[in-house]
Amino acid sequence: MKLVKVEKRWQSEHEAYVKEWGSARMVPSSFSLSGYDTYEAYLEELEMRQQGIENWVPNSNYFLIDNRNRIVAMVNIRHRLNDYLQNIGGHIGYGVRPSERQKGYATLMLAQALKKCKEQELKRVLVTCDDDNICSAKVILKNGGIEDEPFRDEDGSVIRRFWIEL
């Protein structure tokens, strides 16, 4: 299993993944293909976002690939926090292909993403999840997450916040 960058050669795999994800909101949103006429247009926009434009802080995106070159999960690493990320989004967002869940891939991918954060010279990383996302909380705890104060949004939703020392 390895992390690879988002590139044109993964187009058909990426499209198959999005299809399998279905109508649910894509997590992380940086991998959503909706609203783009072509894959090239998506890649172009992603490249600009990765540099940090408008509300986006500089960030990196990777696919987790299995030994059959199939995308099993996706991760978005934010290189620094803004107010929204400090409260809700955290440094790292991830999602696993529906048919590949509960096989330990999120746990493995978060561990690999933490190594990338270390390369970015981050000292500690914030990872968050919705209060009712028990699976994600387990993934974070298994990667050494220490729970901080939760964030309570205006709509009443509660976000759990964990720090991982690198």
Ligand X SMILES: CC(C)(COP(=O)(O)OP(=O)(O)OC[C@H]1O[C@@H](n2cnc3c(N)ncnc32)[C@H](O)[C@@H]1OP(=O)(O)O)[C@@H](O)C(=O)NCCC(=O)NCCS
Residues that bind ligand X in the complex, under the rule CB under 6 A: 27, 94-96, 101-107, 129, 133-136, 138-139
DSSP code of 121? T
Nearer to ligand X, 11 or 107 (CB): 107
Nearer to ligand X, 79 or 138 (CB): 138
Closest CA to 65 of 92, 97, 40: 97
DSSP three-state, residue 94:
strand
Closest CA to 89 of 165, 3, 161, 163: 161
State in angstroms the smallest separation of the CB of 44 from ligand X: 26
DSSP three-state, residue 92:
strand
State in angstroms the smallest separation of the CB of 25 from ligand X: 9
State in angstroms the smallest separation of the CB of 145 from ligand X: 11
DSSP code of 99? G
State in angstroms the smallest separation of the CB of 38 from ligand X: 26
Nearer to ligand X, 24 or 37 (CB): 24
CA angle 129, 137, 133 (to 5 degrees): 60
Nearer to ligand X, 101 or 116 (CB): 101
